[in-house]
Structure 1
Amino acid sequence: MNAMYKFGVGALALATFATACTRDFSELNTNPEIVQNMKPEQLITQSQKTMVDRDFEWFYDNYSYIMPWMQFTVAYPNGNPESIFNLVSNVNGWYSAFYTDFGRNLADIERQVAAMGGEERARYAHIAAIATVHKVWGAWRATDVNGSIPYSEALKARTEENFTPKYDTQADLYTQFDAQLKGAITALTTPAAGQVTFGTSDVFYGGDAAKWAKAANVLRLKIAMRLIKRDQEKTRAIVAEVLASPAGLFTGITEEWKFISGTNNFARGGNWAAQGFANRGGKAVIDYLYANNDPRLELFFKKNAFDQTAFNRLKAGGAFPASATWNPRQYVGMPASPDAAKAVENSRLFGVKSFQITENGNTVTVNYDTLSTYQNRLFDLAADGGAEARYTQPFASYAEMCFLISELAVRGLSTEDAQEWYVKGVKASVRSYEQMGKDAAIVDFAAIPEADIDAYLANPNVAFTGTTDVLLEKIGIQQYLNHFKQPWEAWASWKRLGYPKVGGILNREAFVTNGVVRETPRRWALPVPQQLNRPNWSAAVSEMMSGGEYGSAPEEITGRVWWDKK
């Protein structure tokens, strides 16, 4: 097991937090315990820190499971193990963090404001609304992969001594989330004299109420899309409200809800690193990016070591015949299917290759890696030399929003121009990753010419042409690629849309182990609470199982939560 690296943020340190959006947390290395009666600006920074500083989750949830499941990466050198399809451990940390850390901080902010006198409470309306947006986000991410969770009665142990909160179903949760976000947007867009602001204590938007209102609208849109298999008319109604909202939506990548670190000690080594075992690129995704000249190829993955200089050296040393020519393709992925990775015909082709050559009259052995790794510095700033750089973590992106609006139009659930929003989404995704790559100082970074994006959009596999099903597939592929830095969202998009698919435009591999096709997991096991609230947990699990798709036990992670309907 990898060690878990953490650092705390205490009340006094939080009060002195000085800059917004581009900061490090590491110098705030004091007592991490929650202090009663902390001010809202202290609680918001503590909450945001916990939402961003997720190294343990990156190592286990993402590197070890979700990224291989989504075939972004493959374990090396032996390929993906069969164990990644079984009941997993050390995952689902977001769930416990919501209840034991940032969720209760956010609830405390809401309670503090609610307890104020009328005039003072009005001046803190934006403070409470921003906390609500964070709280809805946190609970939504928890329910997304767990199903029913405590919410309406949760986070009240300290104030109301409620230690047995009921579990709300996802149908009820989505209704609550939408109502709370609507209320927050109203508060954030209502002029109020003398409004108190989080200011620089808010690491995302510096307390800017207008930007938070837009983020809340995008979150409404994201959550509404989870209802599309259950209640399209409700999705349509929410979408109509969001698109007509005076608060607006994101207008570009500069308005995205994302964290950008400082250049010193954030996301460096430890659990941020994949430790080499799961950082080779997946064959299916690299083949698609390479074949279609996707500008994000070099932003996501690195060239292998087999360049022309290496080839010429081997050829001169007798490793290749005189007639051999160099293959200029240096982006090569590894099969994601365990059986395919172990097949003799593939095992000879993928990985570090040893060659014996003659140089200066001596026999020498040289090794070259023929596989591409992902751009490590997007995830771990200590990688590839550890130069000063900035780490970016998107929460809600402009490109994702564009693809959702395009999808809605294709489905007839809005009157927007589907092609226009699709093109905006592709361009925004490329530009967003270009900025992330530049800030992270990835290997061989180069700016992307606009002509390269235009050429990509003209490619038949990318161009916005085809039947409704083909258009949905193309949108789904772009949404999937755009979520490279948010693997949990790529997982959700794949579950909701079914893309990439086996045999599709981006040809996802079927996972096969020992000749048996394996199902890709679709959820986590709902954590078992302490004995006091076990009856409510049991009732929630029984209710989810009664739908027929959850599976026969909480541990059956190939089962489906309510929104993930077949």
Structure 2
Amino acid sequence: MKHVNKWGLGVAVAGMMLTACTKNFEDLNQNPQVSEDVPPEMLITQSEKGIVDRDFDWFYDAYTYQLQWMQFGVAAPGSSPTGLFSPTNTNDFYNAFYKGIGRNLVEMEAVVSRKPEAERAQYGNVLAIAKILKVYSAWRASDANGSMPYSNAFQARSDANFTPTYDTQEKLFPMWDTELKAAITTLQSGLSGQASPGNAEIFYSGDIAKWVKAANVLRIKLAMRQLKRTPDKATAIIKDAMAVKDGLFVNNADEWKFLSADASFARAGNWAMDNNPLSASKNMLDYMYNNNDPRLGIFYEKNSYTKELVDSLIKGGAFPASAQYNERRYFGLPASPDRRSVKADSVIFNVKRYKMTFNGKEVTRTVDTVSAVQRRLFDLDAENGNNNGARYTQPILSYAEQCFMLAELAVRGIITGTAETYYKNGVEASIKAYDDMGREAKIRDYAPLDAAAIAAYLDKPNVAFTGANDVLLEKINIQNFLNLFKSPWEAWGAWKRAGIPKVGGILPFEPMQVAGQNVVIPRRWMLPQPTIANQTNWRNAITEMQQTGEYGNADNDFTGRVWWDKK
């Protein structure tokens, strides 16, 4: 495996980037490397880059584990799912928060503080955006880790604190909401003479109104993580966020996402699925195929059985003359590892090679019988690198997800509004967003979205907004889950929160078995171990998390639960 990091931002950031090469708090907080003359608004680029330029996470966390745990993908024929439930080399975003993302954002505050007093006021908006980015990144690091240093992290430079304590999620969530509210207040206060990061800010180019919406929708998302633990507090946050003027996304143009400037980003190396080839899982693909989901061709590739190929296999003697071309070109594999050894199933897990004769010579054709996960959506070098004008998309917080959250909250009676309208808006927004992703990535066989297909999809019994509240909640969370396909760490979190998809559900979740034993899908990462200097605080954090009774007794009990993930 090689490591390739290519960036296509279209902005000049050379010489402005903070660097780090160690995971240790002592090293991370010494020797500032940023000139006081660098405009603070330009320092935001490197932290934003760190959020999306995550090829290592894609190779390990996503391709090797999360996409398979969530049954979006299955180890392709010829490959193996060995070690699927004993994750290694994962969780690098946690380290990235301390090595670069959070560290850089804190350094921005320090750079501003060193400015003459008369100049500091012009950076209010920039620092508010930095605060939103810091909260998002810290939450993402904590979501599957639990407790983490936050309130007194990054203090080595200022206070010589090399042993930061760990804040519990019970403390972190209120801190984050307070910071997000403060950022929103600043951004909506109409500060004059503000410095703007412009295109150096790769998500919204410094658009203040959109950052307000992103921060406020993030508040709702974080509150929903807490509904099982602190329902009253979570409900109060949600209602407060709903009252914020112009505080919600109104369409896909508002959503928080990254769109690369050109095809130099997400190219080969760790972005590629070559070493972890994934096929579609049967249950997921069948649900999408049977309901005519317009996103099917964006999620999965057609198999190799074109009519021309079938005709050639018949002509070459590999297929009998009676063989018929099957117009269905989408097929998936069972997700459970034990299904690979079941005699009735094993044939579909084998690589298909056909021997036939052409012009008196015997040739062998290798054919994909099952559908691959749409590689081009993740790696712009896939499909022979035909990437003229291709661009990579990474959603952070989408309008569709907001709609599904509001639909669920309306069904639960926590907010007012029409749940069905929220739901339908979410489905339409998700389909259009993936249509945009497919077009931008220039995937093979891309076909423009037929608007009528959305209405037809919404009329399918398994999709239509009908049924009792428990059925409605299941349908909402299925659509939210599907919408998070391009952010599998988010799909993993959504599945943990809602328990959807589920075994025997509308979108069936296949029970996973290894050597005849049922296997529990991992629910957390192992909290990274710091240097010796901070071992005591780390151990205290684990001991404290274990007191809930759900974290697990062992550090590496991946089936244990962090605080918000309450049974």
Cα contact 2:336–2:511 (8 A) shared by 1:
yes
Q: Which residue of 2 aligns with 1:225?
A: 224
Q: Which residue of 1 aligns with 2:415?
A: 414
Shift in CA distance, 23/358, structure 1 to aligned 2, threshold 3 Å: same
1:278-317 map, 5 Å = 278-317=277-316
Counterpart code for 2:506: I
Distance 1:244 1:27 in 2: 38
The reply to whether residue 156 of structure 1 matches residue 155 of structure 2 is yes
Q: Which residue of 2 aligns with 1:404?
A: 405
Q: How many pairs were matched up?
A: 551
Query: Is the partner of 1:150 in helix, strand or coil?
Result: coil
Shift in CA distance, 79/480, structure 1 to aligned 2, threshold 3 Å: farther
Q: Which residue of 2 aligns with 1:258?
A: 257
Query: Is the partner of 2:43 in helix, strand or coil?
Result: helix
Q: Which residue of 1 aligns with 2:375?
A: 376
Cα contact 1:5–1:56 (8 A) shared by 2:
no
Distance 2:12 2:263 in 1: 9
- Output one character per residue of 1:340-397: Cα deviation in whole Å (capped at 9) or x when no partner: 1232211213453223345456554433210111221111111112122101111111
Cα RMSD (Å): 2.0
Counterpart code for 2:184: I
Structure 2 regions of 5+ residues with no counterpart? 20-31
The reply to whether residue 67 of structure 1 matches residue 67 of structure 2 is yes
1:187-266 map, 5 Å = 187-266=186-265
Distance 1:371 1:488 in 2: 25
Q: Which residue of 1 aligns with 2:488?
A: 487
Distance 2:457 2:479 in 1: 12
Shift in CA distance, 473/50, structure 1 to aligned 2, threshold 3 Å: same
Q: Which residue of 2 aligns with 1:14?
A: none
Distance 1:277 1:240 in 2: 43
- The equivalent position to 2:33 in structure 1, one of 32, 35, 39, is 35
Cα contact 1:164–1:536 (8 A) shared by 2:
yes
Query: Is the partner of 1:127 in helix, strand or coil?
Result: helix
Shift in CA distance, 263/414, structure 1 to aligned 2, threshold 3 Å: same
The reply to whether residue 544 of structure 1 matches residue 542 of structure 2 is no
Structure 1 regions of 5+ residues with no counterpart? 9-21
Distance 1:373 1:255 in 2: 31
Q: Which residue of 1 aligns with 2:497?
A: 496
Cα contact 1:110–1:128 (8 A) shared by 2:
yes
Cα contact 1:283–1:334 (8 A) shared by 2:
yes
The reply to whether residue 145 of structure 1 matches residue 144 of structure 2 is yes
Cα contact 1:80–1:336 (8 A) shared by 2:
no
Q: Which residue of 2 aligns with 1:123?
A: 122
Query: Is the partner of 1:146 in helix, strand or coil?
Result: coil
- Larger deviation, residues 339-348 vs 352-361: 352-361
Shift in CA distance, 525/26, structure 1 to aligned 2, threshold 3 Å: farther
Q: Which residue of 1 aligns with 2:58?
A: 58
Shift in CA distance, 548/219, structure 1 to aligned 2, threshold 3 Å: same
Shift in CA distance, 89/26, structure 1 to aligned 2, threshold 3 Å: farther
Q: Which residue of 2 aligns with 1:345?
A: 344
Distance 1:337 1:79 in 2: 14
Please report how far the alpha carbon of residue 60 of structure 1 lies from its aligned counterpart in structure 2 after TM superposition.
0.8
Counterpart code for 1:529: P
Please report how far the alpha carbon of residue 244 of structure 1 lies from its aligned counterpart in structure 2 after TM superposition.
1.2
Q: Which residue of 1 aligns with 2:24?
A: none
Distance 1:164 1:30 in 2: 28
Query: Is the partner of 2:144 in helix, strand or coil?
Result: helix
Please report how far the alpha carbon of residue 232 of structure 1 lies from its aligned counterpart in structure 2 after TM superposition.
1.7
Please report how far the alpha carbon of residue 117 of structure 1 lies from its aligned counterpart in structure 2 after TM superposition.
6.1
1:465-484 map, 5 Å = 465-484=466-485
The reply to whether residue 450 of structure 1 matches residue 448 of structure 2 is no
Please report how far the alpha carbon of residue 3 of structure 1 lies from its aligned counterpart in structure 2 after TM superposition.
2.7
Shift in CA distance, 28/300, structure 1 to aligned 2, threshold 3 Å: farther
Q: Which residue of 1 aligns with 2:107?
A: 108
Please report how far the alpha carbon of residue 157 of structure 1 lies from its aligned counterpart in structure 2 after TM superposition.
1.1
Distance 2:541 2:277 in 1: 35
- Output one character per residue of 1:518-546: Cα deviation in whole Å (capped at 9) or x when no partner: 01001100011111111111111000011
Distance 2:84 2:110 in 1: 42
Please report how far the alpha carbon of residue 450 of structure 1 lies from its aligned counterpart in structure 2 after TM superposition.
1.0
- Output one character per residue of 1:300-326: Cα deviation in whole Å (capped at 9) or x when no partner: 111000122222233344444444432
TM-score, normalised with respect to structure 2 = 0.93
Q: Which residue of 2 aligns with 1:464?
A: 465
Distance 2:168 2:181 in 1: 20
Q: Which residue of 1 aligns with 2:77?
A: 77
Cα contact 1:257–1:396 (8 A) shared by 2:
yes
Q: Which residue of 1 aligns with 2:49?
A: 49
Query: Is the partner of 1:529 in helix, strand or coil?
Result: coil
Q: Which residue of 2 aligns with 1:19?
A: none
Q: Which residue of 1 aligns with 2:270?
A: 271
- Output one character per residue of 1:75-104: Cα deviation in whole Å (capped at 9) or x when no partner: 223565241101x22111111111111101
Please report how far the alpha carbon of residue 284 of structure 1 lies from its aligned counterpart in structure 2 after TM superposition.
1.6
Query: Is the partner of 2:206 in helix, strand or coil?
Result: coil
Cα contact 2:6–2:264 (8 A) shared by 1:
no
Shift in CA distance, 355/78, structure 1 to aligned 2, threshold 3 Å: closer
Please report how far the alpha carbon of residue 5 of structure 1 lies from its aligned counterpart in structure 2 after TM superposition.
2.9
Q: Which residue of 2 aligns with 1:395?
A: 396
Cα contact 1:189–1:247 (8 A) shared by 2:
no
Counterpart code for 2:334: P
Query: Is the partner of 1:124 in helix, strand or coil?
Result: helix
